[in-house]
Amino acid sequence: MLARIAAIFGVTALLQSYVAVAQQARPREHFQNAEIQYDWVGNSRGDKLRTFITRPKNASGKVPVLFFVGWLSCDSVEYAQGETDGFGALMLRLIDQSGYATVRTEKPGVGESQGTPCEKSDFQGELEGYQAAFDAMGKYEFLDSDRVIVIGLSNGGGFGPLVPRRHPVRGFIAAGSWGRTWYEHMIENERVRLTSEGKSAAEVNDAIKAFSQFYDLYLIQRQTPGEVLRQHPQWKGLWYDSADGQYGRPAAFYQQLQALNLGGVWQNVEAPVLVIRGSKDTIMSRADSSAIAETVNCVHPGKARYVEVEGMTHGFSVDRKFDADVVTTILNWAKEQLAAGK
């Protein structure tokens, strides 16, 4: 039967039919108050990246936009199974409760996005995908590209202002994010990790001395962890990840993060900024997050607001339950910025 169909319609038509059937069969998100559209954007490498655009039901005319910039891991930003983690809960609730349109972009090699598998793709290709999705908003008549709030989650909150480039936005939200160098972030993370593992103060200090040299060679001198360990076999007992990367991403990804000057990025931001962090966040420290607000307020006093939620983790949970108040905080702040710009 398939051979007859191919003969009649041609191979191209058959392949297109396969794609259409596969997309229909793929589990999809469903919202009570929003409709979703699926589209594509590309980066300079020719990767075709999936985008998700939602529009409030019964909306008329142009509506404000919440533009999401994702986290570090290779997890999808599509949550067809519902609120399976805190990041999904935050996005899905903002989509359904905000009354705004939203835009999300899948990383290269994740979900339906093409390109090098995420585990091997670098930061630059990912950033270009976000930038392309932002630029593509102009083709949707219902998206008001002059009323956009950029919401960066975890890693994405640190570099959020790089996404719109010179296009004005109404505000930036950085949730559980970083505003220093990646080197500083990782040295502090290692101290927290070692301490939580029960190492003595002396053991922690000795390890940090080694890690300070290790991360210099890895992040700044741009060697892979494996190359560093071959030169310094005495550090093998300290390293807990792969020879060519960390946390499921390649070494080049983190070397490109280290090359960013987030101080310069944030001091040039003129839009209002909301920084949110949980007091029990063990991934992004208070110093990581508060650096964003401090940088902005140093240049534009009062433009940034820092909110620390007592007991909240990196995944937006308090006592193992998603903290719904964080949604309210974001929506109230977004409403203020959108109203002020009228």
pLDDT digits (tens, 9 = 90+) for 85-100: 999 999 999 999 999 9
Q: Give the end of a domain, one of 196, 227, 256.
A: 256
Domain span at 303: 42-176+261-340
What amino acid is encoded at 293 in this protein? A
For residue 45, which of 113, 105, 111 has the smallest C-alpha distance?
113
How many residues are there in the chain? 342
Residue 336: the pLDDT is: 97
The answer on pLDDT for 13 being more than 70 is: no
The answer on pLDDT for 235 being more than 50 is: yes
67 and 119 share one domain:
yes
49 and 62 share one domain:
yes
Measured distance CA(146)–CA(271) in Å, rounded: 13
201 and 226 share one domain:
yes
The two three-digit tokens of residue 283, written as one number: 């991934």
State the total domains in the chain: 2
288 and 172 share one domain:
yes
109-140 tens-digit pLDDT: 999 999 999 999 999 999 999 999 999 999 99
187 and 326 share one domain:
no
